[in-house]
Amino acid sequence: DQQVKQNSPSLSVQEGRISILNCDYTNSMFDYFLWYKKYPAEGPTFLISISSIKDKNEDGRFTVFLNKSAKHLSLHIVPSQPGDSAVYFCAASSRGGGADGLTFGKGTHLIIQP
Amino acid sequence: DVKVTQSSRYLVKRTGEKVFLECVQDMDHENMFWYRQDPGLGLRLIYFSYDVKMKEKGDIPEGYSVSREKKERFSLILESASTNQTSMYLCASRDNQPQHFGDGTRLSIL
């Protein structure tokens, strides 16, 4: 059973516009959420995270929103740039400071068109 | 900057071979992880370790084992490689979140 779901395998957005990537989860024990960006032949790079005690976290062009009642989070990128073209993974942890691994979604391939 | 180094970027092995994937981190992190990434499946946790000589199974440990003799080094072992273990393998480490990843080892089993 997939506990973290990214239902859009790909997303195409025009340069300068907003990119919105969505993620849903089913496990109520998840209390910490992260977004990673991955280029081909490289490891994932951490982008931004949010704890379950917050509903929004912002870092430059990147904002993550968390809706706990809907078990939904989203990553907003404004404005989108060509270098943002990559695969984005949503990940969740059930013990934010504990020694467990992350549960990942299947990823969304974001394509920024000029 | 955290550096997680995986010893090989590309590796080709034969079915039945014993395969070792090595990972070293330079930040004195307590926790280290091994994942595999497959198209359409995302990243899946194989094993993790929270201290030297300590290990925990992740979501897909079958066919794998691990070794952590020193804090900075975490090895993934394929006891008898099979073609369904052809994949991209990613190592990560952390103390607090987030995890920091290496660049991966693309392993092909022929």
How do residues B62-81 score in pLDDT, each as one tens digit?
999 999 999 999 999 999 99
Please determine, for residue A81, whether its predicted confidence score (pLDDT) is greater than 80: yes
Q: Is the pLDDT of residue A98 over 70?
A: no
Q: How far is the C-alpha of A78 from the C-alpha of A4, rounded, in Å?
A: 24
3-class secondary structure per residue, A39-105: CCCCCCEEEEEEECCCCEEEECCEEEEEECCCCEEEEEECCCCHHHCEEEEEEEECCCCCCCCCEEC
Question: How far is residue B22's CA from residue B35's CA, in Å, rounded to a whole number?
Answer: 13
Work out the pLDDT band at A97, boundaries 50, 70, 90.
very low
Task: Tell me the chain B residues in contact with residue A105 when contact means C-beta distances shorter than 8 Å.
Answer: 42
- Written as one letter, the residue type at B98 is P
**Does A1 contact chain B (CB < 8 Å)?**
no
Q: What is the pLDDT of residue A95?
A: 67
How close B72 gets to chain A, by Cα (Å)? 16
Q: How far is the C-alpha of B105 from the C-alpha of B14, rounded, in Å?
A: 16
| Secondary structure (3-state) at A18 | coil
Contact: B101, A43; criterion CB under 8 Å: yes
> Could you tell me whether strands A4-5 and A108-113 are parallel, antiparallel, or unpaired per DSSP bridges?
unpaired
Contacts of B42 in chain A (CB under 8 A): 4, 6, 89, 104-107
**Phi, psi (degrees; rounded to nearest 5) at B62:** -65, 130
Band of residue B96 on the pLDDT scale cut at 50, 70, 90: confident
The angle subtended at Cα A66 by Cα A57 and Cα B37, nearest 5°, is 90
